[in-house]
Chain A
């Protein structure tokens, strides 16, 4: 069985697993990192959204063999450390507006929001209604209204 090595939340990890297993299951089933959630397995619901080298992606749709040893994978568990704080400003915004209901989609929502704001800031743009409309992450509890407000609040603090 091949060994795969990458950087997970700031630490080098190695795992023995077949090449084609999707990264989501490597994280959840083999490494015990359960922040990224399963909601569809086909890159639709975005509940597993995490970051690779700072960009948002869905580990349900990436084979572990496609992750290089230098790649930095960040899940919700590792997000605060990227800003050297207890909580990322986006998480603070989520708490301030009490966004979560059941909470199942929230790790993915927060990771998607952080990437969205990073991209906007890199282009020197602010978050627009069209940007918010374009967020594909499902929230079946329907806390969409607070999600929109929290992305804007978090953006103002990032």
Chain B
């Protein structure tokens, strides 16, 4: 399986082409309803290349011309009329968002977009999450950093139509022409101090029959909320404990439910030795075998934990029995597609590197969970799902119910990072509820979440580049990974839109690789290929705040530093000479000045710099790291210290910034992910299961590893449509940390995280029983 990304000739390129917002009309509909309801189709694809203007020009790669963002955006076209905004009689503007909110700030961003175009106060816009709606097809996927990009224009179109209708309604009532009217703060104002709230005009502005409407959007200069810094619309709920996550919902008779899981991945229950005894335990109401293990339902989760621990289960099968880090690595190395040394002139220097990236957990702080109430002829599900229509279809099929009899409510998610693209936990809850004939509130234990949850697949990246007379002639990268599961809706989208994919007959994984990966430098003949080992069903895999980019970029940026060395240039100066487009060059320049590139630093500490281009955005990171022994060996209780990143500067250009405060938050969070995956966070595979079972084993960034200095610089708008932001900072920070580590220690790191093969810093929790008992000494530890 290989994905070819052959360089191809291309005509002249330009930056992301403006969509013409403000210059031409956009189409929408006023829908027949008692109060005003407006709908609009989604944004079209932007087909435009990148300016290539330095060094030996690299022809645009496929993802420069048409990338994953375009595929996902085009996929929303046929159904997005169903994106609707309503004006209630009390003036509230309602929008039922067909996306998930998992902390990325999407509900705040879309409320800002509507409020700005419509001239209503932000707090008057109420955004709720849509149930699964099968008729929305692909337009109900949250992923690929695509949401703001794909919703930006349709939401503005709908809001503009709504505003015009309200103005027209007021003009008719007051018998004046519309050009005498203005709007602000949810009010239409006319001559002689007349005014009417949107709420009071909504019925008059409503349509009796669905009407097609053309509308012009506000010019960029008239936008005031878009681009400003706003706090999250759910911030108050979050700090008061009022924000409701799935397990906080009170669904009648949905009792706590947990699953006893296997000591190896994907093993099945052969027999349970003590079912009757466990059924008789305090609080326990039901115990039964489901496809992933033995489910237990009880009055409290504490009693579920007791019952799970008491169960004696014999297992059979397993998909990766006996596998360990070493055996998987051997298989990856065997599957690497050979590098092809292109014909290069004599005296050409070769720069090479081989890198290994171990398994990582994409677990959010909220573990996998779902509520299910399955009846004889219907089912109702509550879960945080990024592709709820896929969950709905799967559950309907599993339960042998018609689709319309399965209701799937999308709840607020306590993080996702790729996890909620899959609905496994919802399928499990539905299966348990059906088996028990009772509603269940099913939650995974943290230990299971690490050992049986989704992981970023282990992979290797091999690079060979050639240099002659200060120019890079060729750049080859071979990425080899454990197969990534794309059975969520992205896979369907790619299959159904295959005609548009470059290269023709690619697998879904290859297509995603081709659509997302690029080299932001002019490295001559550029060639990046993917191959995979295992089946995607062998390990539980998925993306983790990005799919391939963090690893591909880290390898690429480390080799970029080596190329700079080979031509005796500083990493910053080298990148400046080879960077492909003007947006990226501006990001780099800003990064150098804000981050004080090149400042004198003590031995054992260093700066690192990295660039990345994805989702129609540009991003750069400059970090400083301290690798001195006194820092690495600092005392941390029950945790991993290691090198400390002391400063992170992120410079980002997302084309159009919607909420600068939210964008800054996404950059800050992504940076913490990048530090973790470069230095500390990984899963150790041994005998078909991961050793990590606790946050004190799986070293995600903790306060003792947080840089004292974190700065985010947002570049002025460079396009007319927002690019992606949610995943941008993770990969580029990982790469910059790796580069800084290499420069501080004098040795290029080749294994990630860098501590993976150091002696294990913890004692693994037992595999049997599968989850640990809660301690009882909490009062002694009160502070």
Contact = CB atoms under 8 A, between A and B. Distances in A.
B11 interface: no
B707 to A, nearest CB: 8
A157 interface: no
B344 interface: no
Interface string A60-92: 111100100000000111001000000100010
A77 B638 CA distance: 30
A156 interface: no
Contacts of A22: 302, 774
Contacts of B639: 136
Contacts of B364: 102, 104, 140
Interface in B665-695: 665, 668-673, 694-695
Interface in A31-66: 32, 34-45, 47, 52, 55-63, 66
B783 A115 contact: yes
B696 A30 contact: no
Nearest to A93: B239
Contacts of A24: 302
A148 interface: yes
Interface in A100-116: 100-107, 110, 115-116
A23 B244 CA distance: 20
B779 interface: yes
Nearest to B230: A98
Nearest to B670: A142
A29 interface: yes
B102 interface: yes
A76 B365 contact: no
B341 interface: no
B235 A29 contact: no
Q: Which one of A24, A77, A136, A141 has the greatest number of beta carbons of chain B within 10 Å?
A: A141
Nearest to A76: B241
Nearest to B776: A63
A6 interface: no
Contacts of B245: 37, 104
B116 to A, nearest CB: 19
A133 interface: yes
A57 B778 contact: yes
A43 B238 CA distance: 22
Contacts of B782: 52, 55-57
A143 interface: yes
A103 B668 contact: no
A158 interface: no
Of the four ranges (under 10, 10 to 19, 20 to 34, 35 or more), the interface on chain B belongs to 35 or more
Contacts of A32: 250
A121 interface: no
A43 to B, nearest CB: 6
A49 to B, nearest CB: 10
B300 interface: yes
Given A57-B778, A98-B231, A26 B300 contact: yes
B439 to A, nearest CB: 14
B96 to A, nearest CB: 20
A66 B779 contact: yes
Contacts of B412: 102-103
B669 A77 contact: no
Contacts of A139: 365
Interface residues of A, number: 77
Contact of A21 (B303, B363, B706): B303
Given A39-B365, A66-B779, A140-B365, A135 B703 contact: yes
Interface stretch (B139-147, B148-156, B413-421): B413-421
Nearest to A151: B703
A143 B673 CA distance: 11
A66 B776 CA distance: 9
Nearest to A139: B365
Contacts of B706: 133, 144-145, 148
A141 B703 contact: no
A143 B105 CA distance: 13
Contacts of A136: 639, 702-703
B196 to A, nearest CB: 33
Nearest to B363: A140
A98 B774 contact: no
B635 to A, nearest CB: 11
A143 to B, nearest CB: 6
B105 to A, nearest CB: 7
Nearest to B662: A98
Contact of B417 (A40, A60, A140): A140
B239 A95 contact: yes
Contacts of A52: 779, 782
Given A98-B232, A146-B665, A146-B668, A58 B781 contact: yes
Interface string A120-132: 0000000001001
17 contacts: A24-B302, A30-B300, A41-B305, A41-B446, A42-B775, A55-B782, A56-B783, A57-B782, A62-B778, A66-B779, A77-B240, A95-B236, A100-B235, A136-B702, A142-B668, A142-B672, A145-B710
Interface of B: 102-105, 231-232, 234-241, 243-245, 247-248, 250, 256, 282-283, 299-303, 305, 363-367, 412-415, 417, 443, 445-446, 638-639, 661, 665, 668-673, 694-696, 700-704, 706-708, 710, 771-772, 774-779, 781-783
Given A76-B240, A132-B703, A134-B704, 10 more contacts: A20-B776, A25-B300, A34-B248, A35-B240, A61-B778, A62-B779, A103-B237, A140-B363, A140-B417, A141-B669
Interface of A: 17-18, 20-26, 28-30, 32, 34-45, 47, 52, 55-63, 66, 75-77, 80, 87, 91, 94-95, 98-107, 110, 115-116, 119, 129, 132-148
| Cβ-closest 3 pairs across A and B | A102-B103, A35-B241, A142-B672
